[in-house]
């Protein structure tokens, strides 16, 4: 069976520090992968219409419908983002707000929305004085809502305003190690 990995990318810079680490990760990843680019995808944020309080899924018909399907079938989920004010980017959070359906499934409808447990990973890049802890906690919470329970140690490159992430030996090695972690079968 071909392993599948879903990557949520929260960076607006296609050749920036976050993508350097994502590309290093992809270079060592087995199986297929799908990248959801928060800045170019056609996914609107949650509008709190409360459709998911009573029904599975979401009332908004956009690219998120395909993402929901991929979440169900994938083995691994990666969240990658630069730090903006010590948090994941706003555009990524807007996309991820559509995971509200999974919370409502558990809380209101008393259903388990995603049966298969997944592995999770987080790549965060900070250029300045940000605190990674808040963004890490947010990413972990989002991964839990997608049933990614086994989360690898964070891949983090800090002070990228001074040293680009592709020159951060520890971050590049951690990106490779994350791919190896995803490649291991349970």
CA nearest 79: which of 31, 32, 144? Answer: 144
Helices 17-27 and 169-183, axial angle in degrees (round to 10): 40
pLDDT at 176 over 90: yes
What is the average pLDDT across 151-173? 93
Q: What is the pTM of this model?
A: 0.96
> Containing domain of residue 90, as a range?
4-183
Quick one: pLDDT at residue 87?
Answer: 95
Length of the chain in terms of residues written: 186
Report the number of distinct structural domains present in the chain.
1
Q: What pLDDT, in 10s, does the model give residues 37-50?
A: 999 999 999 999 99
- Sole residue written with tokens 């056609």: 42
Confirm if 132 and 171 have CB atoms less than 8 A apart. Answer: no
> How far is 138 from 158, CA to CA, in rounded Å?
18
Q: What pLDDT, in 10s, does the model give residues 6-54?
A: 999 999 999 999 999 999 999 999 999 999 999 999 999 999 999 999 9
Percent of the chain with pLDDT over 70: 98
Quick one: pLDDT at residue 186?
Answer: 54
Q: What CATH code is carried by the domain that includes residue 135?
A: 3.40.50.360
Measured between alpha carbons, how far is residue 138 from residues 3, 23, 45, 55, 183 in Å?
Answer: 26, 23, 17, 26, 24
């Amino acid at each position: 069976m071909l392993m599948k990995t879903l990557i949520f990318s929260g960076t607006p810079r296609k050749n920036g520090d976050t993508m350097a680490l994502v590309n290093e990760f992809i270079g060592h990843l087995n199986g297929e992968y799908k990248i959801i680019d928060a800045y170019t995808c056609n996914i609107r944020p949650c509008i709190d219409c409360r459709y998911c309080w009573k029904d599975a899924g979401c009332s908004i018909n956009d690219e998120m419908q395909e993402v929901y399907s991929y979440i169900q079938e994938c083995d691994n989920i990666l969240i990658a983002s630069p730090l903006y004010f010590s948090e994941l980017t706003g555009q990524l959070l807007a996309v991820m707000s559509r995971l509200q359906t999974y919370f409502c499934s558990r809380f209101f409808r008393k259903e388990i929305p995603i049966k298969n447990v997944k592995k999770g990973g987080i790549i965060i890049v900070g250029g300045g004085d940000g605190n990674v802890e808040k963004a890490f906690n947010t990413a972990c919470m989002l991964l839990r809502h997608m049933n990614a329970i086994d989360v690898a140690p964070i891949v983090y490159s800090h002070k990228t305003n001074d040293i680009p992430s592709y020159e951060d030996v520890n971050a590049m090695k951690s990106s490779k190690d994350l791919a190896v972690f995803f490649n291991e079968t349970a």
